[in-house]
Structure 1
Amino acid sequence: MPVLYLVRHGQASFGADDYDVLSPTGHRQAEAVGRALAAQGVTPDAWVMGDMRRHRETMEGILTGMDATGITPEVHAGLNEYDFGALLKAKMKAAGQDDAPPPDRRNYFRTLREVVQEWHRDEIPDPYETYGTFRDRVEDARTFCMREGVETVLAVSSGGAIGQMIARLLDAPPITQVKLQLQMKNCAVNRIVYSARNAYLHGFNETPYIDASNEAEMLTYS
């Protein structure tokens, strides 16, 4: 059966002015997962990524690690992450507040979980993107990746979009999307096998490039 390898981007720049750029560790993770996939014998005949910078930089690293330079990946914006910052601003604006909470990790991820669940329930007034729109564009991306005529697809996306795709694949409730997202390691590999009628999750949050010798450096979540 055909296989979709759905890879989360490498470590980005949490707390920086521009999150949408890989850290030095993120670049190393991307090349390392490419080498690991090549060692497993993965030979994609289709390459797809979102149009965010961290997706492009991750794909470039994977291509280098797989010795597959010269390939031009396809781009599908349905693989892009939702904009949590915009959702938080919309929530605060509706509450008559202006200042965002400090971006320390504990507060950030707790707030993300709470705000996204409100988004799922359509409780945030005037969001930049409704949850239904996000859900549908991710589904469009899944259909694009799993199209007829390709046997092995490698796609680079983000934790929220990947979580949404897997949650829908499992017919799980919306809260599953954010639960999966918050577990997702950087450059984690998720495997979906599919046919014209069905799709099945065969691997979740795998890190074939990490072992005891490099775990302290390479195992990251944000």
Structure 2
Amino acid sequence: MPVLYVVRHGQASFGADDYDVLSPTGHTQAEAVGRALAAQGVKPDAWIMGDMRRHRETMEGILKGMGVEGVTPEIHAGLNEYDFGALLSAKLKAAGQDEKPPLDRRNYFRTLKDVVQEWHRDEIPDPYETYGAFRDRVEDARRVCMREGVETVLAVSSGGAIGQMIARALDAPPITQVKLQLQMKNCAVNRFVYSARNMYLHGFNETPHIDASNEADMLTYS
């Protein structure tokens, strides 16, 4: 059966003015996962990514690590992450608060989980994007990735979108999307096998580029 590999982007710049930039560790992760996939014998005949900078930089690292040249990946915005900052701002605006409170790393992810669950239930007034619209665009991207005529597809996306794609494959409730997202490691590999009628999750959150010798430096979540 055809195989779709969906790789989460490498470590971005959490806490910086522009999150959408890979950190030095993120660049290292991307090249390392490319080498690991090549060592496994993975030879994609289609390459697809979201249109965020961290997706592009991760794909460039993967291609370099795999020793592949001359590839121009397809771009599908359905693989993009949702904008948590915009969701939080919409929630606070509805509550009469103009400024977002400062959040440390632990409280950031706790708040993300709570806000996203409200988003799932359509409880945030005037969000920049409804959960239904997000779900539909991710599903459209999945269909493009799993189209006929290709046998091995490699896509680069973000944790929330990948979590949604997996939840769809498992016929799981919306809460599963954010639970999977919060487990997703940087440059984790997720695998699906599929046919014209069905798709199956075949691997989740795999890190073939990490072992005991480099885990302290290479294992990151944000």
Q: Which SS does the other structure have where 1:71 is aligned?
A: coil
Q: Secondary structure at the match of 2:63?
A: helix
Give the CA deviation at 1:190. 0.2
CA distance in 2, matches of 1:102, 1:57: 28
In structure 2, the residue matched to 1:113 is 113
C-alpha displacement of 1:130:
0.2
Residues 21-62 of structure 1, C-alpha deviations (whole Å, 9 max, x = no match): 000000000000000000000000000000000000000000
1:88 corresponds in structure 2 to 88
**1:155 lines up with 2:155 in the alignment:** yes
Letter in 2 for 1:117: Q
**Cα distance between partner residues in 1 of 2:101 and 2:44:** 42
> Are positions 1:98 and 2:88 aligned together?
no
1:5–1:154 Cα contact (<8 Å) kept: yes
Task: Say whether residues 1:53 and 2:47 are aligned partners.
Answer: no
Amino acid of the structure 2 residue aligned with 1:194: Y
* CA RMSD, 1 decimal: 0.4
The equivalent of 1:11 in structure 2 is 11
- Aligned partner of residue 122 in structure 1, secondary structure: coil
Q: Which residue of 2 aligns with 1:132?
A: 132
Residues 81-116 of structure 1 show CA distances to partners (whole Å, capped at 9, x for unaligned) of 000000000000000001212131011000000000
Residue in structure 1 matched with residue 32 of structure 2 by the alignment: 32
Partner amino acid for 2:209?
Answer: Y
Q: Deviations over 1:118-156 (max 9, x none)?
A: 000000000000000000000000000000000000000
> Following superposition of structure 1 onto structure 2, how do residues 198-217 of structure 1 map, counting pairs within 5 Å?
198-217=198-217
Q: Which secondary structure does the structure 2 equivalent of 1:115 belong to? A: helix
Tell me the amino acid that sits aligned with residue 156 of structure 1.
V
3-state SS of 2:187 partner:
coil
The amino acid across from 1:74 in the alignment is E
TM-score normalised to the size of structure 2? 0.99
Q: Is the 8 A contact 1:191 1:202 kept in 2?
A: yes
Aligned counterparts of 1:27 and 1:113: Cα–Cα separation in 2: 27
C-alpha distance in 2 between matches for 1:193 and 1:212 = 29
Give the stretch that moved more between structures: 76-85 or 103-112: 103-112
Tell me what 2:76 maps to. 76
Misfit runs of 4+, over 2 Å: none
Contact 1:9 1:186 in 2 (8 A): yes
Aligned length: 222
What is the distance in 2 between the residues matched to 1:181 and 1:69? 31
Distance in 2 separating the partners of 1:188 and 1:210: 10
Stretches of structure 1 that go unaligned for 5 or more consecutive residues are: none
